[in-house]
Every structure is written in C-alpha cells, then in structure tokens.
Amino acid sequence: MISSLVLLAIILLPLIGSVIQAVLGIRDSKKAGLLATFFVFLSFLSHFFLTDIDKKEFIYIPFIIFSDIEVYFSLTLDRISFLMGLMVTLVSSIIHLYSSSYMEKDESPYRYFAFLNLFVFFMLVIVYSGNFLLMFIGWEGVGVCSYLLISYESWRLDAARAGTKAFLITRLADFGFILFLLIYYKIFNTFDIAPLEGATRHPLLPYLLFFAIIAACGKSAQFPFYIWLPDAMEGPTPVSALIHAATMVTAGVWLFIRIFPLFTLYPDILNIIIFISVVSFLLSGLIACFERDLKKILAYSTISQIGYMFFGIGIGFKYLAFLHLLTHAFFKALLFLSSGNVMHLIHKKIDIYETRGIRKVHPFTSYSFLLGALALIGFPLTGGFISKELLINASFSNFYLFLLACLGAFITSFYIMRGYALTFEGEEEKKEYGKIDSLMNISLFLLSFFVILTGLPIFEKFYFSVLESEIHIKNPIIYQFLPLFLSVLGGYFSFQIYLNKIQYSPERFKKLASLLKSGFYYDFFVSRALYNFFVLISNYISKLFDRGFIDIILVEGLAKLTYLKGKLMYKFFVRKPSFYITLLILLFFLVLYYAL
C-alpha cells in the first residue's frame, strides 16, 4: 500500500509542479526554475521511500467498463522501471536547475517550466505504466511537449518549422503504436503488460512486433524517421538535453525492453532491428563528421547512441541496451549543457569553424565537454566505457556485426573530437563574452560527477545486482580492446587533422563530403520532395472535397437553394388582397370536400 501511494506521488509531483507554474505565472526565471526543480527532485527522492521493488505493485484505475469490455489504467513497479525512474527524475532535476539561469532573459519562464515539468510527468507515465493504453497516453504526451518546447521561440520561423516537422514525423510513426494497441488487444484481450511473460506464438504477433518497431523508430529518431531530431536543436539547449538524455528518444528503447519477451518468440524479427540500428549509427556518424553546428553534431550522436541501444536489443542483450541508456543519459546531458554554456558565452549558435579558443575563455566548460566527449567515445573511468564496451563485445558471435559496431565507435570518436578541437582549442576570439551563472556550473559539476560515478566498476556491480542478472562475455583478448583502440585512434586522427598537425586537402573529397553531409539527400527528399508532393495532393483534395463538396455543395449550395425557395415563395405570395381571399375560399372548399 505504501509503495502504491509513493508511486503515485512520484508520477504526479511533476504534474502538480506544472499546474502550479501555470496558475502562479511567476516571471522571475530563477524562482520559477527552482520551484520546478523542487517538484522533480522531490519525485527523485520519493524513489527511496519505495519499500519493496522485488514484487510488482499494481494500481488499477477504471477507465472503460462497458458490457464485457473492461479496460483499466494500471501502474507497475519492478526493478528495471525503478532504475529508469531514478535516471529520468535525477537527470531532469539537473536540467531544470540549469534552465533556471539559462532562461533568465525569457519573458514567460512559467510557461517554459510548466511545459518542462509536464514533459517529465508524461515520461514517468511511460516508465511506470503497466498498461499499453496508459503508455500510449504518455507516449503522445511527450510528443506534444516536445512540439511545445522545440517551437518554444515560435517567433523564429526556424523554431516553428522544426517543432512542426518533429510533430508530424513522430505522429506518422505513432500510427504504428495505434495499430500495435489494436493487435495487442486482439491477441491478449487486454492492454496489460503482464501477459507478455507467458506469451506463446500467435499468427498476429509478427505484425504486432513490426508496428512496434515503426513506433519505436519514430519516437527514438532511428532510420527512416531520424530526420526530425537534428532540426529539433532549434529549441532551447536545456530542452535538447532533456529530449536526448532523459525523455522522448529513450521511449522507443523502453518499449522494446517491455515487449522483449515477444522478440524471443520470433528471433528473426530481431534482424530488422539490427539492420535499422547499424544504418542509424553509421549514417548519423558519417553526417556528424561534416556538420558545422555543434548542437546538431550532438543530435546525430544521439541518433548513433540510440542506434547502439537498438543494436543491443537486436543481438538479444536488453540489459546491456538499458545500461547504455542509463550511462548515455548523464554524458549526453553534460555535452548539451556544456554547449549551452558556450552559446551563453558567444550569444549565438555554435559554428565550430567560427567559434575557437573557448578553453581559454572558460576552462571549466571546456573540461566538462571533454569529459562528456570521452564518455561518448567509451574512454575508461567514464560511464560510456562500461556500457559501450560490453555492448559491442556482446556482438562478437557475429564477427561482421562486431566489426560494424567497432567502425561506429571509430566514427563516433572522430566526429566528437573534431567538434571539441574546433570549438574549444585554438586562439580565442577578441570580443565581449557573456557570463556563466553559478547554477549552470553547478549543474555541469553534478553531471560530471555522475559521468565518472557510472564509469566505476562499483556502478556496474550495483546495476547487475539490482536487476539480479549476470552477463559474462569472453572474447579473445585482442578483440576485447579493439573498440577502445579504434576509439582512441579516431580521436587521435581527428585532433591531428583539425589542429592542422596533419595537412590534407578538403577540395579533394568535396563531392563525397557534400554527399555525406547531406545524408545522401534523404532529408532533402523527405523534407522537400516528398513533403511538397503531399502538400500538392492535399491541395487538390482540399479543392475537390473541402471547397468543392463541403463549401460549394453542402454549405453554399444549401444556402443558395434555401434562398431560391424563399425568393420563389416571395414572388408567389406578393399579390393583391383578392388573390389571398381566393386562396382562402379554395382552401375552405378543399377542407369541406374532405370533411364530407
């Protein structure tokens, strides 16, 4: 009973914070931010009052009870959701704290923090839902909140378009979740997650898993739906950190973890996930190698790292995928908030070819970003090392997949160190720099602490002990350290090239670079050609159905018909009094005739 009440409190506290922000309308950024941080951090602390996570605690709330149909909203608590909830609330608390200073010039911070609190609430609904129908509400909720926050600065056309693009593409993929729900109910006659543990093969299950993959790829920005995420960088930087680290894009991975027992029934379907993951982390990595905007480089790195999480699911190691999800949350938040510090210093977007020497301007920001970059690479004693090395080595049974994963590690190291070298090293620009508030630095320090903490062996031991699981991977010693070797090699080459210690001719590979930077023109095809095609078709349908049938025939047609009838009656009855007397006499004789 106590765990049930605490679980309700964990989920509802961010919602209460959102409502209070909207009602009070606090216009002071720090006051509004600290209040929002308080509710999310209180949700984090509430996790430690959960008395028992060994047993699943269910809370059933009636939703639809009609005839023989009974649908309940249910919440569930188990070990993996407990860890996920801890991560979401902890990382979100730090991002809220950072936002308190970052949004100091915003004219309506209460609106921003109301959306931010609401975002966390919907993510917690996804995490603790014991029912796919309730998960779908959280699923759509984070989608709406992402739209509101990406296009938060709606007076900027780029931000408005980015929010719309994210909303439309993810809604298109979310149609897969709707079909998933319908098929799931058809198979199990319930929306509850519990029946998955004892599931057996069913003719409809492959279709169920196919639509789940579509839904997860859309929400987690994987191929072919990844193109919305780089544009989402138009939102405020803390929003980018929240979307990439603790909410939204991790939802697809979480869905896979929840339905993993079904994948074991149809292991061939895992090959689809492997294909999607490999394409995602290789393609996004290659694009990032040529990107100029630092935030977009980090966006492509998120696509890449989520791809590694999908890869872990595909090779059958869901706990390794989840471990990478946890460690990734901390170092990706650190990378984004460090880039937010740089934007705060230079008062504009970060073009890595124009922003140089930040390390000499603000060393702490530089070292924070470098620590996050090392974790992304998978350097020892950082969070990314444990999770990424285990995940890549787990694929060794298929040597070609192992080599592709290693290649992805090399590319990752190359593009992130390129971003660091060009942004933070070199001669500083002689200009007026902004000031970094202490709350922003405290946030970076806290994230740096957790990036290092999650890289210690004690964290790995804690993680597997909580999940009551053991994973032993024994590969030949030469291959165990191959991912790390390639990561170090990629970072070394990047440093040497972009600090001009190795001379190269960019003109020599100009066409290839242009092709890779554009992502083989896939984004152009979808955003321009395909989008314009649908707009053209929509215009014709609008003219034919909306304008032609509804407006001209139904609305205007009926109005004109009524007008003509009235005009006819008007002309018929506009006569002399003798005409009306004649009509009355005729009516009298007609009634008399039928009466007799």
Q: Mapped to the 3 state alphabet, what secondary structure does 296-333 carry?
A: HHHHHHHHHHHHHHHHHHHCCCHHHHHHHHHHHHHHHH
Specify the pairing of strand 57-66 against strand 69-77.
antiparallel
In this prediction, residue 470 has a pLDDT band, given cuts at 50, 70 and 90, of confident
In this prediction, residue 294 has a pLDDT band, given cuts at 50, 70 and 90, of very high
- Cα–Cα distance between 179 and 510 in angstroms, integer? 44
Which residues are registered as beta bridge partners of 129? 75
Question: What pLDDT does 68 receive?
Answer: 74
Q: Coil, helix or strand for 130?
A: coil
- Cα–Cα distance between 81 and 93 in angstroms, integer? 18
Instruction: List, in order, residues 6 or more apart from 495 with CB less than 8 Å away.
Output: 417, 421, 501
In this prediction, residue 506 has a pLDDT band, given cuts at 50, 70 and 90, of low
Assigned token pair, 504: 């190269």
Which amino acid belongs to residue 65? I
Task: Give exposure, 202-235, as e/b (b: 16+ Cβ within 10 Å).
Answer: eeebbebbbbbbbbbbbbbbbbebbbbbbbbbbb
Given the structure tokens 């997650």, which residue do they identify?
193
pLDDT tens column, 118-142: 999 999 999 999 889 999 999 999 9
Question: What pLDDT does 31 receive?
Answer: 93
- Cα–Cα distance between 462 and 487 in angstroms, integer? 26
Which 3-state string (H, E, C) describes 328-361?
Answer: HHHHHHHHHHHHHHHHHHHCCCCECCCCCCHHHH
Given the structure tokens 């605490």, which residue do they identify?
6
Q: What percent of the chain has pLDDT over 70?
A: 96
In this prediction, residue 507 has a pLDDT band, given cuts at 50, 70 and 90, of low
Average of per-residue pLDDT across 38-54: 89
> CB–CB of 311/274 below 8 Å?
yes
Assigned token pair, 360: 């000499």
Is the model's pLDDT at 290 over the cut of 60?
A: yes
pLDDT tens column, 401-447: 999 999 999 999 999 999 999 999 888 777 788 888 899 999 999 99
Write the DSSP symbol of residue 429.
P
Question: What pLDDT does 505 receive?
Answer: 54
Q: How many Cα atoms occupy the beta-carbon half-sphere of 229 within 13 Å? A: 32
- Cα–Cα distance between 121 and 93 in angstroms, integer? 12
In this structure, the number of other CB atoms found within 10 A of the CB of residue 385 comes to 23
Q: Specify the length of the chain in residues.
A: 596
Question: What pLDDT does 300 receive?
Answer: 94
Which residues are registered as beta bridge partners of 74? 60
- Cα–Cα distance between 124 and 84 in angstroms, integer? 9
Question: What pLDDT does 1 receive?
Answer: 62
Q: Coil, helix or strand for 275?
A: helix
Question: What pLDDT does 55 receive?
Answer: 64
Which residues in 134-214 belong to E strands, given as ranges?
none
pLDDT tens column, 218-274: 999 998 899 999 999 998 999 999 998 888 899 999 999 999 999 989 989 999 999
Average of per-residue pLDDT across 371-390: 92
Assigned token pair, 386: 């444990």
Which residues are registered as beta bridge partners of 64? 71
In this prediction, residue 503 has a pLDDT band, given cuts at 50, 70 and 90, of low
Question: What pLDDT does 572 receive?
Answer: 65
Average of per-residue pLDDT across 440-468: 93
Which residues are registered as beta bridge partners of 397? none
- Cα–Cα distance between 98 and 48 in angstroms, integer? 24
> CB–CB of 47/161 below 8 Å?
no
Average of per-residue pLDDT across 441-465: 93
List the one residue out of 82, 263, 228, 91 whose CA is nearest residue 147.
228
> What is the dihedral angle through the alpha carbons of 98, 235, 296, 371, rounded to the nearest 10 degrees?
10
Find the helix packing angle between 251-258 and 109-128, rounded to 10°: 10
Which residues are registered as beta bridge partners of 62? 72
Is the model's pLDDT at 547 over the cut of 90?
A: no
Burial of residue 388 (number of CB atoms within 10 Å: 0-12, 13-18, 19+): buried
Instruction: List, in order, residues 6 or more apart from 134 with CB less than 8 Å away.
Output: 73, 74, 75, 125, 191
The whole-model pTM stands at 0.89
Given the structure tokens 């200073």, which residue do they identify?
101
Helix (H) or strand (E) holding 85: helix 79-102
Mean pLDDT of the chain: 88
Question: What pLDDT does 95 receive?
Answer: 96
pLDDT tens column, 324-369: 999 999 999 999 999 999 998 888 888 888 888 888 888 999 999 9
Assigned token pair, 31: 């006051």
> CB–CB of 422/498 below 8 Å?
yes
Assigned token pair, 115: 């959306």
Question: What pLDDT does 525 receive?
Answer: 80
Least confident of 30-34, 425-429, 488-492, 553-557: 553-557
pLDDT tens column, 53-64: 776 767 777 877
Backbone angles phi, psi at 71, to 5 degrees: -120, 130
Question: What pLDDT does 430 receive?
Answer: 75
Burial of residue 470 (number of CB atoms within 10 Å: 0-12, 13-18, 19+): exposed
Q: What percent of the chain has pLDDT over 90?
A: 54
Least confident of 68-77, 121-130, 218-227, 505-514: 505-514
Is the model's pLDDT at 305 over the cut of 80?
A: yes
Q: In the chain, what is the straight-line distance between the N-terminal and C-terminal CA atoms, in Å?
A: 84
Question: What pLDDT does 474 receive?
Answer: 81
